[in-house]
Structure 1
Amino acid sequence: MQEFMQLNRNLKLRTLTVFLAALLNSSIFPNMTIYYSHYFGRFITGILLMLISGVSFVAGMYGGHLADVYGRKPIMLTGGLLLTTGYVIAAAANNPLLVSPQITFFAFLIASVGGSLADPAEQAMMIDASTAANRKFVYALIYWIINISVMLGAALGGWFFRDYLLELLLALIAVSLFNLAIVRFGMSETMTEATQTSSSVWGALKSYLNVLADRRYMLFIIGSVLLAIVTRQPDYYLAVHLGADFHTTTLFGITIYGQRMLSIVTLVNTVMIVTMMSLFTRLTDKWSLVKANAVGAVLFAVGFAFSFVTSTLWPLIAAAVILTLGEMISVPANQTLRADMMNPAKIGAYSGLMSVVSPIAAIFAGLLVSASSIFGNYGMAVLMLIFGGLSILATTKAARMRANW
């Protein structure tokens, strides 16, 4: 608590806005795939989701540049306004008198653009407002808060999304307005002076070309992609493996089959993070960032590799424990290393470029599902170990290189 009270005011307020936004976002956004599939069918839903991802990716990249031109706070406010606008339109399109899935999609597209536009500015403000001494604590705290929010939000969505979508959307509007007020009246600008002269698309391209020339940061991004391929497996091959190979069993009178086993793995992961994150942050406080990142990545890779070669309840729970230990150790260290490698004059652009990690990792994770018919469970396990090892090599080398900006 003492360490939290010593944080910059912006960071304290950020913990509140993150909790509220993640709580309601996780109750609605994951369930929108079901919503779209119901009205549009699976094929069109896939296209719509790719469209949202593509547009959001571009918005995030441009938002990172704008955060370096105009500052963090104006872009956070602009993104927040777009978010609120999208939620208002979505609520209007899902009332007792009118249900329009087409308008709803357009509304959530606007909201996704707003969130993606603001995200690099939010990340940049966190870096600006933190110090080398407390940055690891800040990232661990935010990560812990997000996990609590997602756990509670998933429960809210499961109980209320189908029958009370309008009420959830109205709550989302209220939260987004509250967060906007916090940013507008509670937070201060953290960028000391503008470092870019143009907000044009060409200006953004030049800014990102400069970031791409930073060999150290690009090597770190490669390492981050490799590790992200491993960490995304619950949504990809692990789900396929459990669905096809898990030996159905009974626990406390409840039948556990593949899908339920995947939920148990997720539950173990979330509960451990919520209850033990602060403990592991303290236990690894004296570790170097490179060591924590490497140890966490090893546990991550070993945990997923083990989960691919077993198909019974308790070994899979053990695998979930191992990979969660890796997650708690590596995530704060990895995010702190990333922040330390950013050119202070271009933090927005650096944060924006980091947004490529998730979609690239998702593409490769999807390809691995197709390739799993060739590699099999043991081959996939070996690949997880290889990706984890290569990630450690890349991020460690990047951390030890001299900055060239």
Structure 2
Amino acid sequence: MLNKFGFLKDYHSFSKMIKVRIVLLFISVLFNAMVMPYVVVYFVERVGINIASLMVLGVGIAGILGSLLGGKLGDKYGRKKMIIFGEIGNGIGFFLACFSSVFTEMLITIIFISFLLIYFFSGLSGPAYSAFIIDETTNKNRKSVYVVMLWVSNLSFALGSILGGFLFKQYSSLLFFLVGCSSILSCICIAILVQDHFIKRKVESNNLRVKNQIKANSNKLKVYQHMLKAPIFQFLVMLTLILSLMNNQLPYYLSVHYVNIFETEGYTILGFLRSENTLMIFFLTFVITNLLKKVYEIKSLLFGVLLFFIGYIALSMGEIPSILYMAMAIMSIGQIIYSPVIQTISADVIPDEHRSTYLSILDVIGHIGGLCAFLFVPLMQYIQPFKISIIYGVFGFISLIIIYRIQQNRKEEKISIPSVS
């Protein structure tokens, strides 16, 4: 029955490395979801909301620094080395968190240091993982890979969150240990089963044009300077920032907003909304993407982003649970539509030899969007809810203009950003 969906038929065209990545993604997200959604609460319970906010900011900055460094090194030394290095560091961070209970007097300090390591090394391997997916896919099957990964990650996140909700309070140390083990498992599987085709192509390319090769590495800022001259990438950065900011509204501003409106019932409503989002992505991803498979990608992106913002505006304005559930359904459908499309477009326009660097910038912008979303929590003391809805609407309008400009620039630049070299 599932083979009726074109995206699942395309699974047979995926390379062995992509299939390995999908399995490891499921395992990694499953174990991380048992821990990560509860980390902020973990900090707040021990040090209070003010210090916890500074800690969240600190680990966010660590993730940004890791992404910037990982992007540059991924293009220089290859994806495989950076992924292995990142997974080892990630595992060490979680093992440190696991055994931190031994140091009772310095517990929170050790935990904070461990999460600095975790976010830094996760950021370090993130761009390499993203570039690896592009390296191992073709224009024909790339969107299908992103659709399958969206579905798998949401399924494993749902399972992990449920298990973490029952286990984290009493068995947090055990869960930290299991997440560390999953990182080491990923490291071993990547080392044994994955070949870095990026390095292979790079060596072959260098052999063909040794004399004509421009020494781009002599100026480490050259790639970043080139980015600033590529309008289409600038538009992708702006769109990524806005969408990341909006995607983090539910765990930050809207969570506090609903508790203020519904009091204790607000927590229950939040749980149902998150479950609804996960279930819709799980059951409808292949149906919706298959229906829109032949629709021009920019039209899909426009439609998906439009639904996404309509849903979020309704989520910010609704004060009746049934309205909120309808709004979440609209937002989720928009999310399903736009997510694989924007990833595909990003992959198409980024230069092959600098994929990891470009993707690290998008990853950093995603982190910054999350940090900006957190600022809506203190701002709600000064801005009325209907004004927040207006801000959402302005962001949506800007996003649609950006998508239109992306399409115009793709025509002018003939799809890809010119290579630095």
**Kept after mapping to 2: 8 A contact 1:211/1:349:** no
Q: Which residue of 1 aligns with 2:188?
A: 181
Q: Distance between the aligned counterparts of 1:178 and 1:309, measured in 2?
A: 45
Q: Distance between the aligned counterparts of 1:197 and 1:44, measured in 2?
A: 46
**Kept after mapping to 2: 8 A contact 1:223/1:392:** no
Q: Does 1:222 align with 2:238?
A: yes
CA distance 1:359–1:5, change in 2 (3 Å): same
Q: Distance between the aligned counterparts of 1:176 and 1:116, measured in 2?
A: 14
Aligned CA-pair RMSD = 2.4
Aligned residue runs from structure 1 range 1-400, under 5 A: 1-94=8-101, 100-191=107-198, 192-193=201-202, 203=220, 205-246=221-262, 257-372=265-380, 376-400=384-408
Q: Which amino acid aligns with 1:138?
A: V
TM-score (norm 1): 0.90
Q: Distance between the aligned counterparts of 1:190 and 1:311, measured in 2?
A: 52
CA distance 1:48–1:236, change in 2 (3 Å): closer
Q: Distance between the aligned counterparts of 2:286 and 2:265, measured in 1?
A: 33
CA distance 1:114–1:368, change in 2 (3 Å): closer
The structure with the largest helix share of the pair is 2
Q: Which amino acid aligns with 1:15?
A: I
Task: Give the drift of 1:114.
Answer: 1.3
Q: Secondary structure in 2 aligned to 1:19?
A: helix
TM-score (norm 2): 0.87
Q: Distance between the aligned counterparts of 2:48 and 2:313, measured in 1?
A: 34
Task: Give the drift of 1:347.
Answer: 0.2
Q: Secondary structure in 2 aligned to 1:100?
A: helix
Q: Distance between the aligned counterparts of 1:310 and 1:44, measured in 2?
A: 32
CA distance 1:241–1:337, change in 2 (3 Å): same
**Kept after mapping to 2: 8 A contact 1:136/1:336:** yes
Task: Give the drift of 1:259.
Answer: 2.1
CA distance 1:50–1:364, change in 2 (3 Å): closer
CA distance 1:51–1:237, change in 2 (3 Å): closer
Q: Distance between the aligned counterparts of 2:11 and 2:298, measured in 1?
A: 24
Gaps of 5+ in 1: 249-255
CA distance 1:78–1:178, change in 2 (3 Å): same
State how many pairs are aligned.
Answer: 395
**Kept after mapping to 1: 8 A contact 2:32/2:160:** yes
CA distance 1:209–1:368, change in 2 (3 Å): same
CA distance 1:41–1:386, change in 2 (3 Å): closer
**Kept after mapping to 1: 8 A contact 2:13/2:141:** no
Q: Secondary structure in 1 aligned to 2:169?
A: coil
Task: Give the drift of 1:50.
Answer: 1.2
Q: Distance between the aligned counterparts of 1:6 and 1:99, measured in 2?
A: 51
Gaps of 5+ in 2: 1-7, 207-213
Q: Distance between the aligned counterparts of 1:92 and 1:381, measured in 2?
A: 44
Q: Which amino acid aligns with 1:167?
A: L
CA distance 1:233–1:36, change in 2 (3 Å): closer
Task: Give the drift of 1:322.
Answer: 0.7
CA distance 1:363–1:162, change in 2 (3 Å): closer
Task: Give the drift of 1:75.
Answer: 0.7
Q: Which amino acid aligns with 1:91?
A: C
Deviations 1:173-202 (A, max 9, x none): 3212211111001111021216896879x6
Q: Distance between the aligned counterparts of 1:316 and 1:95, measured in 2?
A: 44
Deviates more, 1:125-134 or 1:357-366: 357-366
Task: Give the drift of 1:212.
Answer: 2.6
Task: Give the drift of 1:30.
Answer: 2.3
**Kept after mapping to 2: 8 A contact 1:289/1:336:** no
Task: Give the drift of 1:163.
Answer: 1.4
Deviations 1:207-237 (A, max 9, x none): 3222232221011211222233333221233
Q: Distance between the aligned counterparts of 1:157 and 1:263, measured in 2?
A: 14
Deviations 1:96-148 (A, max 9, x none): 99983322322222222111100000000001111111111111111111111
Deviations 1:11-58 (A, max 9, x none): 111111111111111111222223323333332222222111112201
Q: Which amino acid aligns with 1:241?
A: H
Q: Distance between the aligned counterparts of 1:372 and 1:337, measured in 2?
A: 35
Q: Which amino acid aligns with 1:225?
A: L
